[in-house]
């Protein structure tokens, strides 16, 4: 089959690789000059099968209200005159109960475990280097009340096959001694040895090169203008090359791509593109931030990736740098870093790392002579946090999007799963694939997301 994949992030490139592995002819289209330059560029670097709790839980509505006027709030809902945002918010609220939470966790763990296996298979095949550390992920708490609930979360993960365990402060420091200077604040934590970390951008760009070397056609620097539909199916994808800097030719003729299958993997931009052909999915952007700091004292920096429960940020060592990422801002498609709100959220990350790991990184701002690499990206979130992977009601049109903060964790498996579905195979996991008959999925052990 001829397949066109729209989007060259971790999801799109993984999809291309697995389609290629099954003998399909693949073309990938992306508006950027190379792969992984948007949401996959500078994420938290965690491959976290065990830390996949949905944003929607019974405590989320009250917390969101309390945080609405805090610039550094972990989850910030910024109301806009956007009906899609409000509809997404109502659907999110409907998931804020214990039954939905556990149902969604089950789906996310199933996809995470399947994806982790798929990632290991790709790495074994390609030998890609991406600052990988197979040292697990720790989650530390500074609030006793919050820590008291950690056992419930760990038990839920163990129920679905993930060995996440509660540890004391002493045990946590034995696992990762780098946090000793912050030990007076830590009341305990959890730890999952099977999780890992690594640079999603390095991996994605290297995998894209492997794909290109084996015949996948990458069309970088092309905007997707529209999907053309005829007779209930996609007839073509209309794309246009972006004018290059200094080019005298401002108008470039459009190109019509035709394929047997089209996979939309455009992250947060998937939903508006699909709506143009009558497919309405609740995928809305959650703006996240990261900061990458040069290590000044590598011998004191952590090797174990970690989650800071108090400020809801994650940190991972990437070679001679430390990546720290966190916060969610549900407020549209703005990516600016120069607003007062964006600066406050970036500064919070730098301040927190200096508190937890004093003197280990160069956390100085540019105005102070430092060289921090601040970044923001749009995480394509669904109300359940479960992505849409499968076929739409429009013929020849497939979707692989809505992974929220877990695109790196779920990327390899999502790419493999949709390649299997397109090839007429049934992925071996208990997950509900979008657009597939419920009875057929039940017979194969799969469930649809609620």
Phi, psi of 319 (to 5 degrees): 65, -120
Q: Treating both helix axes as pointing N-terminal to C-terminal, what angle do 200-213 and 407-422 enclose, rounded to 10 degrees?
A: 30
Whether residue 349 is contained in a domain is answered as yes
Whether residue 256 is contained in a domain is answered as yes
- Segment 434-445 shows an average pLDDT of 58
Under a CB-based contact definition with an 8 Å cutoff, are residues 141 and 189 in contact? yes
Nearest to 110 by CA among 155, 152, 159, 149: 159
Q: Treating both helix axes as pointing N-terminal to C-terminal, what angle do 407-422 and 98-126 enclose, rounded to 10 degrees?
A: 80
Distances (CA, A) of 306 to 212, 272, 299, 328, 442: 34, 34, 17, 18, 37
The overall average pLDDT reported for the chain is 93
- Beta strands per DSSP E along 295-345: 305-308, 313-318, 321-330
Phi, psi of 147 (to 5 degrees): -65, -30
Within this chain, do residues 75 and 37 fall inside the same structural domain, yes or no? no
Q: Treating both helix axes as pointing N-terminal to C-terminal, what angle do 150-159 and 98-126 enclose, rounded to 10 degrees?
A: 60
Nearest to 390 by CA among 411, 368, 418, 410: 418
Which distant-in-sequence residues (6+ apart) come within 8 Å of 7 by Cβ? Answer: 28, 29, 30, 264, 265, 266, 267, 270, 401
Looking at 381, 405, 423, the residue that finishes a domain is 381
Per-residue buried b or exposed e for 356-388, using 16+ beta carbons within 10 Å of the residue's own CB: bbeebbbbeeeeeeeebebbbbbbbbbbbbbbb
Asked whether residue 318 carries a pLDDT value surpassing 70, the answer given is yes
Asked whether residue 302 carries a pLDDT value surpassing 50, the answer given is yes
pLDDT tens digits along 330-349: 999 999 999 999 999 999 99
Q: β-strand 137-141 against 305-308: which pairing, if any?
A: parallel
pLDDT tens digits along 94-147: 999 999 999 999 999 999 999 999 999 999 999 999 999 999 999 999 999 999
In eight-state DSSP terms, residue 309 is T
Whether residue 221 is contained in a domain is answered as yes
Distances (CA, A) of 369 to 47, 298, 362: 33, 20, 10
Nearest to 304 by CA among 174, 129, 448, 119: 174
Check residue 129 and give its pLDDT. 98
Which distant-in-sequence residues (6+ apart) come within 8 Å of 210 by Cβ? Answer: 17, 126, 128
CA distance 195 to 307: 12
Asked whether residue 4 carries a pLDDT value surpassing 90, the answer given is yes
Within this chain, do residues 294 and 340 fall inside the same structural domain, yes or no? yes
The full DSSP string for 322-376 is EEEEEEEEES-S---SSSHHHHHHHHHHHHHHHHHSTTTB----GGGT---EEEE
Within this chain, do residues 272 and 259 fall inside the same structural domain, yes or no? yes
Within this chain, do residues 72 and 220 fall inside the same structural domain, yes or no? no
pLDDT-derived band at 439, boundaries 50, 70, 90: very low
CA distance 89 to 417: 28
Within this chain, do residues 184 and 296 fall inside the same structural domain, yes or no? yes
Check residue 226 and give its pLDDT. 97
Within this chain, do residues 21 and 154 fall inside the same structural domain, yes or no? no
CA distance 387 to 232: 24
Within this chain, do residues 290 and 358 fall inside the same structural domain, yes or no? yes
pLDDT-derived band at 248, boundaries 50, 70, 90: low
Number of domains observed in the structure of the chain = 2
Alpha helix segments (H runs only) across 262-327:
270-275
Within this chain, do residues 151 and 77 fall inside the same structural domain, yes or no? yes
CATH code, 170: 3.30.9.10
Whether residue 46 is contained in a domain is answered as no
Check residue 245 and give its pLDDT. 66
Check residue 421 and give its pLDDT. 98
Whether residue 125 is contained in a domain is answered as no
Looking at 381, 400, 424, the residue that finishes a domain is 381
Q: Please state, as a whole number, how many other Cβ atoms lie within 10 Å of the Cβ of residue 104.
A: 24
Question: Above pLDDT 70, what percent of the chain?
Answer: 95
Q: β-strand 284-294 against 321-330: which pairing, if any?
A: antiparallel
Whether residue 21 is contained in a domain is answered as yes
Within this chain, do residues 269 and 207 fall inside the same structural domain, yes or no? yes
Q: Please state, as a whole number, how many other Cβ atoms lie within 10 Å of the Cβ of residue 39.
A: 27
Under a CB-based contact definition with an 8 Å cutoff, are residues 28 and 5 in contact? yes
CA distance 98 to 448: 18
Check residue 367 and give its pLDDT. 82
Phi, psi of 303 (to 5 degrees): -100, -25
Check residue 449 and give its pLDDT. 40
Phi, psi of 370 (to 5 degrees): -85, 175
Whether residue 369 is contained in a domain is answered as yes
Within this chain, do residues 368 and 288 fall inside the same structural domain, yes or no? yes
Residue 26: give the domain boundaries.
2-41+202-282+385-443
pLDDT tens digits along 264-275: 999 999 999 999
Count of all residues that appear for the chain in the document: 450
Within this chain, do residues 289 and 278 fall inside the same structural domain, yes or no? no
Which helix (H) or strand (E) element contains residue 122? helix 98-126
CATH code, 411: 3.50.50.60
Q: β-strand 2-6 against 25-30: which pairing, if any?
A: parallel
Looking at 381, 396, 411, the residue that finishes a domain is 381
Within this chain, do residues 208 and 347 fall inside the same structural domain, yes or no? no
Whether residue 113 is contained in a domain is answered as no
Check residue 369 and give its pLDDT. 87
Phi, psi of 304 (to 5 degrees): -80, 125
Asked whether residue 357 carries a pLDDT value surpassing 90, the answer given is yes
Distances (CA, A) of 443 to 157, 200, 341, 426: 25, 35, 49, 11
């Amino acid at each position: 089959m001829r397949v066109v994949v729209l989007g060259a992030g971790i999801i799109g490139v993984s999809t291309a690789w697995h389609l290629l592995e099954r003998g399909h002819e693949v073309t990938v289209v992306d508006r950027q000059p190379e792969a992984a330059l948007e949401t996959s560029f500078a994420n938290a670097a965690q491959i976290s099968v065990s830390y996949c709790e949905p944003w929607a839980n019974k405590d989320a509505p009250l917390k969101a209200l309390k945080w609405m006027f805090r610039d550094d709030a972990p989850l910030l809902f910024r109301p806009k005159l956007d009906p899609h945002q409000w509809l997404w918010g109502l659907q999110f609220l409907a998931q804020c109960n214990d039954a939905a939470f556990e149902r969604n966790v089950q789906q996310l763990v199933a996809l995470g475990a399947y994806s982790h296996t798929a990632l290991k298979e790709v790495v074994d095949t390609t030998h890609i280097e991406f600052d990988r550390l197979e040292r697990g992920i720790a989650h530390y708490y500074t609030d006793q009340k919050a820590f008291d609930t950690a056992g419930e979360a760990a038990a839920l993960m163990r129920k679905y096959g993930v060995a996440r365990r509660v540890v004391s402060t002493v045990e946590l420091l034995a696992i990762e001694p780098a946090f000793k200077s912050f030990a007076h604040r830590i009341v305990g934590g959890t730890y999952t040895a099977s999780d890992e970390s690594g640079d999603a951008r390095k991996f994605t760009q290297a995998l894209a090169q492997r794909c290109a070397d084996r015949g996948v056609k990458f069309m970088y620097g092309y905007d997707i203008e529209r999907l053309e539909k005829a007779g209930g199916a996609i007839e073509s994808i209309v794309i246009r090359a972006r004018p290059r800097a200094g080019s005298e030719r401002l108008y470039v003729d459009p190109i019509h791509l035709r394929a047997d299958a089209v996979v939309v993997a455009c992250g947060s931009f998937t939903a508006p593109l699909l709506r143009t052909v009558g497919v309405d999915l609740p995928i809305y952007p959650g703006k996240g931030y990261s900061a990458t700091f040069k290590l000044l004292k590598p011998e004191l920096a952590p090797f174990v990736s970690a989650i800071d429960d108090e400020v809801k940020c994650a940190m991972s060592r990437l070679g001679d740098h430390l990546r720290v990422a966190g916060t969610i801002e549900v407020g549209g498609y703005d990516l600016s870093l120069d607003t007062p709100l964006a600066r406050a959220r970036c500064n919070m990350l730098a301040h927190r790392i200096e508190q937890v790991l004093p003197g280990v990184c160069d956390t100085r701002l540019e105005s102070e002579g430092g060289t921090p690499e601040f970044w923001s990206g749009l995480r394509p979130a669904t109300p359940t946090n479960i992505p849409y992977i499968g076929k739409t009601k429009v013929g020849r049109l497939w979707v692989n999007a809505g992974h929220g903060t877990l695109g790196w964790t779920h990327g390899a498996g999502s790419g493999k799963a949709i390649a299997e579905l397109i090839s007429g195979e049934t992925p071996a996991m208990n997950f509900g694939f979008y657009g597939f008959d419920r009875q057929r999925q039940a017979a194969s052990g799969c469930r649809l997301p609620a």
